A and B are shown apart, each in its own frame.
Chain A
């Protein structure tokens, strides 16, 4: 997983994301902020699953689907 671009993002506490290399801006929620921070720390997909399961009341199937969807969104925006 290429997190080089992710490490350059400016993310506010409220989930406002600014990509200084493209000028693009995005909004995410608390869960999204946490996932991005963990990705920036080098966590892989399985580690993200474990961390999220600990913190949220969600089934593994639901979490896996949502996490895959979020990571695909990051890829679509060239963040991963």
Chain B
């Protein structure tokens, strides 16, 4: 049995990728015990006993690294972890710091280096898109109202006003831009991004790199509907060779290590590809790729444990992902276990 710990089990309206990853692993050929790493006792994944075998509360990654490491070592002493799959941008830098120590303890991870992580930062997108021979919409970071005025004068209208983490609005005038700027800064803080508006369709590609420029498989979708925060809610699988080739160039250029999601826009009139964002981990919709035969979490685990795995990207286009909401009922004692003792066992480890 392979034991895999996964973070991001907050399957809420802005879901973390953890539950999609765990579901992919549970439906794979592997015999996997899944450990959920939670930051809040109300993360729904803790209570999903058909997917998460045991959950542990984690200290916030913004705290000291020693506490974070100690907690993982404690969990490892109980669970004998083989792999940790980190799924949250905020915790990745901490895992980068402790990855070598974890490996010494027998815990494997496939995550980007700090250099790779920085190269895909939002403020480096111009350089990155140039290097992989695609475009990116002109953008400027704004930390004050004066910055916004200068940025919109340079970029023109309409433009997109984007929060540092989530949410984006199309502004047709300086009045609208100011209104969205205040709204986003109040909610998410600075910097706010003013970005040239490019008319087209948004597409995402999920993949996994081995750290040497090789792909473990790619899977592309068109976003059909998104949430108010711009997150995929419904999607359709597509076969677009240009997108996949762009991803291969990205993997080679960065020698990317780990899961990633490339977000792009294809301009309506010119068919030009614009790079919007590179997320340094699997996206929340990663289960869709597994359900279509490209089980990237399974391939990642196999790669880390030197097991045979597929690397092809052969899947059917025209498969639609329908995300839905659901409810489960649990006893208050489960909440007591996770909130008072920091752990909840849904399924005991087989003897």
A-contact bits for B300-329, CB 8 A (1 contact / 0 none): 000000000000000001100000000000
A20 touches B201 (CB 8 A): no
Of the listed stretches B101-109, B233-241, B288-296, name the one at the interface; the rest are far from the partner chain. Answer: B233-241
A21 within 8 A of B: yes
Q: How many residues of A contact B (CB 8 A)?
A: 8
B318 touches A78 (CB 8 A): no
- Counting chain B CB atoms within 10 Å of each CB, which of A18, A21, A78 scores highest? A21
Chain A interface secondary structure, helix, strand, loop or mixed? loop
A48 to chain B: closest CB distance in Å?
Answer: 26
A46 within 8 A of B: no
A22 touches B238 (CB 8 A): yes
B222 touches A22 (CB 8 A): yes
B-contact bits for A66-80, CB 8 A (1 contact / 0 none): 000000000000100
A78 touches B239 (CB 8 A): no
Question: Which residues in B have their C-beta under 8 angstroms from that of A21?
Answer: 238-241, 317
A21 vs B203: C-alpha distance when bound (angstroms):
11
A71 vs B122: C-alpha distance when bound (angstroms):
41
B271 within 8 A of A: yes
B266 within 8 A of A: yes
Question: Which residues in B have their C-beta under 8 angstroms from that of A78?
Answer: 271
A78 vs B271: C-alpha distance when bound (angstroms):
9
A23 touches B266 (CB 8 A): no
Q: How many residues of B contact A (CB 8 A)?
A: 15
A22 vs B273: C-alpha distance when bound (angstroms):
12
A22 touches B240 (CB 8 A): yes
B271 touches A18 (CB 8 A): no
B30 to chain A: closest CB distance in Å?
Answer: 30
**In the complex, residue of chain A having the shortest beta-carbon distance to the beta carbon of B201:** A22
B238 touches A23 (CB 8 A): yes
A22 vs B318: C-alpha distance when bound (angstroms):
10
B236 touches A23 (CB 8 A): yes
B271 touches A20 (CB 8 A): no
A3 within 8 A of B: no
A22 vs B222: C-alpha distance when bound (angstroms):
7
A76 vs B2: C-alpha distance when bound (angstroms):
52
B313 to chain A: closest CB distance in Å?
Answer: 14
B159 within 8 A of A: no
B264 within 8 A of A: no
**11 A-B interface contacts by CB (under 8 A):** A20-B238, A21-B241, A21-B317, A22-B222, A22-B238, A22-B240, A22-B266, A23-B201, A23-B203, A24-B201, A24-B222
